[in-house]
Amino acid sequence: MNMRRIKRLGIGLGAIGVILAGTLALSTTAPAGQDAYPALGPLPAIKVNPEEVELGRLLFFDNRYTGDAAESCASCHDPKKAYGDGKQLSNGYPGTAHYRNAPTLLNSAHQYEQFWVGAHNNCETTARWHLVNQLFMNADGRYLEERTRQIPEYYERFQKLYGIKRTIYFGKISKAMCGFVNSLVSDPKNVPFDRYTMGDKSALTPLQIKGLQVFKGKAKCIRCHNGPLLSDKKYHNVGVPQHPELSTNPTRQIGLRWDNMFLGVPNWETRIDDPGVYQYSKDKRDLGKFRTGTLRELKYTAPYMHNGTLPTLKDVVEFYDRGGGPHPNKDPLIKPLGLTMANKKALVAFLESLSSDEMPYADARPEKYGEEGIPYTVYDPFVTWVPKDPGHPVLH
């Protein structure tokens, strides 16, 4: 993905906005007599700066933005795995292990709260937290500023993009990274369901159309999975079982307990379960609640749920048909559905229609990136270096 392709991306996203203006009337709404929910339909366009997208893309794949310079953002958000890692639980920083699934970054620009528990309300705060958190990238913001300044290509890009004078502030690093992340939005032209809502009635098969009816009707999925993102962006306890590794893997328990201690969770020394939103709210009504995930790009983002305990879409449908799992704080909306085998087959087919024809942005890794492609140089942009002999610059 070179600069020309990035510019085309910006133009394409703008065109999507024009398309939407004339097609949202075709978006799928609740059937007559049912509660009204935000209409299903294509995602609105996101305005991006192509130069910021390109700089952020380079940083996203650069290992030098972790403490030990061994991993990058793409280590857990791999473009070949739909910007997740394909694992049930994330590995975390070397020597640690995380206790939740690494969610896809696709379409995360439309999430106004980040993480499974809504820990942050914007991408830039989330990026800064990931960069410095011991369980993720374990870096220091001031150290990353100097690392960046010793990479001439990066410094010059930051200077041109943000008009910086000398210091590359940590906040600008996270801002650039988010420029790239915010560009990862599904193109409606490539998504069968979006094409259907924009007027192409041949875009869905009869089985998928039947699945849409089940989705809105008997299965009642639309109560929580609505709007263009197919998420109400709220938090629910649906009774997802605890991942067995939280009880058997000491390294994952260390990560969980460290987070709980840091966040002031009561009885953090003895609790072995993931408290969900309660981790931040300390409200017992939030125990076991997690964000309603988007249903977009589901074909590429298995395994599912906040801890990856459901391997396939069929497993997800079966889980909800049973009425979720047992939990004293389970949402009262979650009840057995009584779906037939035909209902389930149709529903899975419909859910697959919410994904792009091909995995989006899978080829975003730059041809040259990281220390091998964009090397360090002993560099100060306010000093002129005159080579006396190769490898031995002197002040001039």
Q: Tens of pLDDT along 321-345?
A: 999 999 999 999 999 999 999 999 9
Rounded to the nearest 5°, which phi and psi values hold at 314? Answer: -60, -40
pLDDT band for position 112 (cuts 50, 70, 90): confident
Q: How far is 73 from 301, CA to CA, in rounded Å?
A: 17
**For 272-300, how does the pLDDT look when each residue is reduced to its tens digit (9 = 90+)?**
999 999 999 999 999 999 999 999 999 99
pLDDT for residue 225: 98
Please tell me whether residue 323 adopts helix, strand or coil conformation. coil
> From the CA atom positions of the chain, what is the Rg in Å?
23
* Torsions phi, psi for 287 (to 5 deg): -60, 130
C-alpha triplet 94, 56, 354: angle, nearest 5°: 85
Show contacts of 332-335: CB within 8 Å, 24+ apart.
333/220, 333/223, 333/224, 333/236, 334/236, 334/238, 334/239
CA gap 218, 30 in Å, rounded: 12
Q: Rounded mean pLDDT of 228-236?
A: 98
Q: Is the pLDDT of residue 15 over 80?
A: no
- Per-residue pLDDT band at 240 (split at 50, 70, 90): very high
Residue 12, pLDDT score: 45
pLDDT at residue 34, rounded to an integer: 52
- Mean pLDDT, residues 252-264: 96
Separation between Cα atoms, residue 175 and residue 162, nearest integer Å: 10
Q: What mean pLDDT is predicted for residues 249-276?
A: 96
Report yes or no: 186 and 180 within 8 Å, Cβ to Cβ.
Answer: no
Q: For the packed helices 3-23 and 50-60, what is the interaxial angle rounded to 10 degrees?
A: 120
Placement of tokens 């008997």 in the chain: 218
The DSSP H or E segment spanning 20 is helix 3-23
| Amino acid in position 227 | G
Residue 381 pLDDT class (50, 70, 90 cuts): low
Distance of CA 62 to the CA centre of its chain: 18
Sign of CA dihedral 111, 115, 118, 124: negative
Stretch 36-52: mean pLDDT: 96
pLDDT at position 32 is 44
Burial (CB count within 10 angstroms: exposed 0-12, middle 13-18, buried 19+), residue 163: exposed
Domains and CATH numbers, the chain: 46-184+366-387 (1.10.760.10), 240-287 (no CATH)
Span 224-240, average pLDDT: 98
pLDDT of 19 over the 70 cut: no
Q: What are 204-231's pLDDT values in tens digits?
A: 999 999 999 999 999 999 999 999 999 9
pLDDT category of residue 247 using cuts at 50, 70 and 90 = very high
The contacts of residue 391 (CB under 8 Å, 6+ apart) are none
The pLDDT tens digits for 64-102 are: 999 999 999 999 999 999 999 999 999 999 999 999 999
Which residue type occupies 74?
Answer: A
| Average pLDDT of the chain to the nearest whole number | 89
